[in-house]
Amino acid sequence: MPRKKTKSKTTKKKTTKRKPARKKTTKKKTPAKKKTKRKTTTKKKKKTAKKTAATKKMKTAGDIRVNKKAKTPSLLRGMKDLLPKDEEYWLKMRHEAESISNVYGYGKIETPIMEEASLFVRSIGRGTDVVDKEMYIFEDRDKTKIALRPEATASVMRSYISHGMQTLPQPVKVWYLGPMFRHDRPQAGRFRQFHQFGCESIGGHDPVIDAELIIIAYNFLKDLGINTTVHVNSIGTLDDRQNYIIELVGYLRSKRGYLCDDCKRRINKNPLRVLDCKQEQCQPVIEEAPQIIDWLSDKPKDFFMKVLEYLDELEVPYVLQSTLVRGLDYYTDTVFEFYEEDEEQKSQNALGGGGRYNGLSEQIGGQETPGCGFALGLERIVSVMKKKENKEENEEKKEVSNPIYFAQLGELARRGALKMIEELRKQGYAVKHNLAKHSLKSQLELANKFGVKYCFILGQKEIQDGTLIVRDMDSGIQEIIDQSQMMKKVADIFDKHGKNI
């Protein structure tokens, strides 16, 4: 090996010169073999040279080679950046989630976004889309199978068991808000990372708990300006459900020929999921299917009737939806989903859903513990909020609900502006500005883009005079005011056109 190296190193020229002579000899001996060998060597050399050059440009990040010159990595499919332009909606939802949870006595819980994969396999169940098709699973460095949480109920129950919360006064009431992950086919209202706000009440089996959870979700949406109709059903105890499933499978087998391919597969894998199918061709079969409510034993039936009575009492609009089963293994008794009022037929996407899960704790190795909860999808809620405010098309113009832009010209003015903007902020007025911009023209263009009503302009002259120009962006009329009048002027403008921070 070292000899070879020295040989090839000697000079390139030499090798090229000798080439024809060598070719002849090699042809005589073992032409094919030698030829290939030489070719490979040259190829290898070229490759190595290329590699070394490329490696120089690269830096390693763990095992991943990072080519600094490669194009910018793109956003992963189904993922979404939450941008400042939408912050007002997210702030509203976070604020509302916290305040409504406090009012109803729910404490905040934050569980990790990663859990042992078996937690979800055992609770949500094999045969469900979430586990079979959508869960992000990977092997950790110690070979543990990890999942990015596809939902939070199982994690909350795991936490309840891990922390011995059964010794606390029951029910334990918690709320959460955070990202979930499902490798779903991205489409409108369906992402691979999305956020849920949810409440869980663990350790109590009383219809009033189910009704309370429904009213919390209903009021949360209402406070955000969204009227909803609740779809409710009961799937009874695990025993009731087993009996029903036998009946359902028999029925579905007899109608197999009328079902879509997915539903044909579901008959054996997860027959309840057939009831949830949105394919046109399956609808007549679903409509005629035996109804689970007829298979409930007396206790779950009474329980469900009480839930409905509470909803009547609270004047929550609901419809009994006999095909609503929610498809996950851990549900028992009450199940429910929220749909935007009058949009139920058009929308296949519920804003949220939930139900009772009396079997969940045992499924993951805990003792028998009843529970009930809901989860609302925040991306879908933002999109309804936007639609309601008719903001979607005018987003560019209405990006800010801010009536003032603060422009400056010259170094002294920039410093003065910085101080004034800070004073305004302390008083609760956030004005738009960009102190890094030096030309007045570009600042006025920005002000126009933001659609503000007024532009405050501070230049060298104004600094000397202790004044400020107030430009009406619609008419172009400018007024000069004393700087001591600025706060009052801002207050008047905000009263008329904007909102404080």
Q: Does 217 bind ligand AMP (CB under 6 A)?
A: no
Task: Provide the β-strand partners of residue 339.
Answer: 229
Q: Does 353 bind ligand AMP (CB under 6 A)?
A: yes
Binding mask 116-155 for ligand AMP (x = CB under 6 A): -----------------------------------x----
Residue of 380, 432, 433, 471 interacting with ligand AMP (CB under 6 A): 380
Nearer to ligand AMP by Cβ, of 337 and 462: the residue is 337
Query: What is the SS3 assignment for 491?
Result: helix
What's the min distance (Å) between Cβ of 393 and ligand AMP? 23
Q: Which region among 92-100, 298-306, 345-353, 487-495 touches ligand AMP (by CB under 6 A)?
A: 345-353
Nearer to ligand AMP by Cβ, of 158 and 380: the residue is 380
Q: Which region among 2-10, 22-30, 47-55, 181-189 touches ligand AMP (by CB under 6 A)?
A: 181-189
Q: Which region among 290-298, 375-383, 427-435, 445-453 touches ligand AMP (by CB under 6 A)?
A: 375-383
Which residue has the closest beta carbon to ligand AMP? 377
What's the min distance (Å) between Cβ of 302 and ligand AMP? 26
Nearer to ligand AMP by Cβ, of 357 and 454: the residue is 357
Contact 357, 371 (CB under 8 A): yes
Nearer to ligand AMP by Cβ, of 218 and 405: the residue is 218
Residues 184, 78: Cα–Cα separation, whole Å: 8
Task: Provide the β-strand partners of residue 255.
Answer: none
Nearer to ligand AMP by Cβ, of 186 and 204: the residue is 186
Could you tell me whether strands 107-108 and 172-181 are parallel, antiparallel, or unpaired per DSSP bridges?
parallel
C-alpha distances in Å from residue 202, one per residue of 173, 303, 372 = 6, 17, 6
What's the min distance (Å) between Cβ of 349 and ligand AMP? 7
Closest CA to 101 of 174, 196, 170: 174
Give residues 53-112 in contact with ligand AMP (rule: CB under 6 A). Answer: none
Q: How many CB atoms lie within 10 A of CB 119?
A: 18
Q: Report the amino acid identity of residue 7.
A: K
What's the min distance (Å) between Cβ of 326 and ligand AMP? 7
What's the min distance (Å) between Cβ of 83 and ligand AMP? 17
Q: Does 355 bind ligand AMP (CB under 6 A)?
A: no
Residue of 89, 90, 191, 456 interacting with ligand AMP (CB under 6 A): 191
C-alpha distances in Å from residue 159, one per residue of 152, 227, 361, 375, 462 = 10, 33, 11, 17, 62
Nearer to ligand AMP by Cβ, of 153 and 443: the residue is 153
Contact 368, 417 (CB under 8 A): no
Closest CA to 216 of 173, 178, 179: 173
Q: Report the amino acid identity of residue 40.
A: T
Residue entry with tokens 């079997």: 359
Closest CA to 400 of 449, 456, 341, 327: 449
List of E strands, 82-151: 107-108, 114-116, 137-139, 145-148
Nearer to ligand AMP by Cβ, of 193 and 322: the residue is 193
Nearer to ligand AMP by Cβ, of 129 and 240: the residue is 129
b/e for 159-193, b at 16 or more Cβ within 10 A?
A: bbbeeebeeeeebbbbbbbbebbbbbeeeebebbb
What's the min distance (Å) between Cβ of 108 and ligand AMP? 19
What's the min distance (Å) between Cβ of 293 and ligand AMP? 20
Residues 487, 153: Cα–Cα separation, whole Å: 50
Handedness of CA 77, 78, 81, 83 (dihedral sign): positive
Summarize as ranges the residues that interact with ligand AMP (CB under 6 A). Answer: 151, 182, 184, 189-191, 194, 196, 350-353, 375, 377, 379-380
